[in-house]
Amino acid sequence: MMPIALLACACDAAPVGQAPTGQAQSGRAPAAVVTSGLKAETMARTVAAAGRLPRIRSLLVVRDGRTLAEHRFNNGPSLDQPVNIKSASKSVISALVGIAIARGVFRGVDQPIMSVLGGDAPAKADPRLAQVTIGNLLSMQAGLERTSGEFYGRWVSSPNWVRSALSRPFVDEPGGAMLYSTGNTHLLSAMLTRASGRSTLRLAREWLGEPLGITIPVWPADPQGVYFGGNEMRLSPRALARFGELYRLGGVVDGRRILPASWIEQSWTPRTTSPWSGGQYGYGWFIGQAAGHPVRFAWGYGGQMIYVVPDLRLTVVMTSDANGARDSGHIDALHRLLAEGIVPAAEQGA
């Protein structure tokens, strides 16, 4: 997959209170950041480039807590309308797990998943199932056969998604290679529900929606009523920006601690590498570089993206048509919008 590179667009909104690669591009160090705002000419070109992408629906750029660019494309919905964020949901589930650990609902990332889900284990379970931890699920290192890709349809057609995910054969050891699987994050949703006695929807609204001031509508659940963990959540582009800002600001928004800073550090620590993009992965977040600057990003199918560029004080949201065929060229184009347009606009400043 092509490194993040960019094109440029205009910052016309008023202020409001290979994936990015794992190595620095061209070996240069990030520029010292003393700028504010965004270079208007560079942003104008970036917005124009975004407008030429048939699948993109929105682009938001937030710097220092100020929304400096908000754009809709291709008859996309309102920026306040919830849209399907696909696998960017996995980053939301990760946040809920971090809060659950801080509140004592879970003991920590080393807690075995069978301590909560033991009743759903197969009768003659592989002994390795007892070794799988919360952390293994978050980093996609459970070792279980995937439920995504070619296995996805069969999994979501099963009468019990939790039992089906736990019944998968082991194709690697727990803690081994990255095996990207939505079943992993669905198991985390089931654990959140059972350990807390409240639905994942209720937890998301109480722990994230209310303190962030964002709407979290109902999203699909499995046949047992466990809300889908890691796919099909609905959040508006502005809500995604608010969520990204939560991470950029170290877990504190409007003076209120919502997420432990230590959890963000853990989530943004590389733990494995994607066999497809070559990008590094932590706890529900991809980790890489954009034009020499560290970037952490949530990534949903079709191009539902939250990019956080900490040293430039940037949070960038892009949403796209979630129903199209798989198209890595579109994802590469979104990465270029960030690396070749928005990052330079921030480096140059207003």
Give residue 325's pLDDT. 82
- Any idea which of 130-134, 324-328, 345-349 has the lowest mean pLDDT? 324-328
Mean pLDDT, range 306-329, rounded to an integer: 93
Angle at 260 between CA 259 and CA 264, to 5 degrees: 90
Higher pLDDT, 115 or 1: 115
Which residues make up the CATH 1.20.58 domain(s) of the chain? Answer: 93-196
Which residues make up the CATH 3.40.710.10 domain(s) of the chain? Answer: 25-81+236-348
CATH code at 93-196:
1.20.58
Mean pLDDT, range 45-73, rounded to an integer: 97
Residue 143, both tokens: 């070792």
In tens, the pLDDT along 142-183 reads 999 999 989 999 999 999 999 999 999 999 999 999 999 999
- Residues 293, 312 contacting (CB under 8 angstroms): yes
- CATH superfamily for 25-81+236-348 is DD-peptidase/beta-lactamase superfamily (3.40.710.10)
In tens, the pLDDT along 263-278 reads 999 999 999 999 988 8
In this model, does residue 13 exceed pLDDT 70? Answer: no
Cβ-defined contacts of 94-97 (< 8 Å, 24+): 94/138, 94/267, 94/283, 94/284, 94/285, 95/207, 95/208, 95/243, 95/246, 95/259, 95/263, 95/284, 96/188, 96/192, 96/200, 96/203, 96/204, 96/207, 96/208, 97/134, 97/138, 97/188, 97/192, 97/283
Give residue 143's pLDDT. 98
In this model, does residue 30 exceed pLDDT 80? Answer: no
**Alpha-carbon span 261 to 252, nearest angstrom:** 8
In tens, the pLDDT along 60-105 reads 999 999 999 999 999 999 999 999 999 999 999 999 999 999 999 9
C-alpha pair distances (Å), 212 with each of 20, 200, 241, 245, 304:
27, 17, 10, 10, 20
What is the pTM assigned to this prediction? 0.91
Burial of 275 (0-12, 13-18, 19+ CB in 10 A): exposed
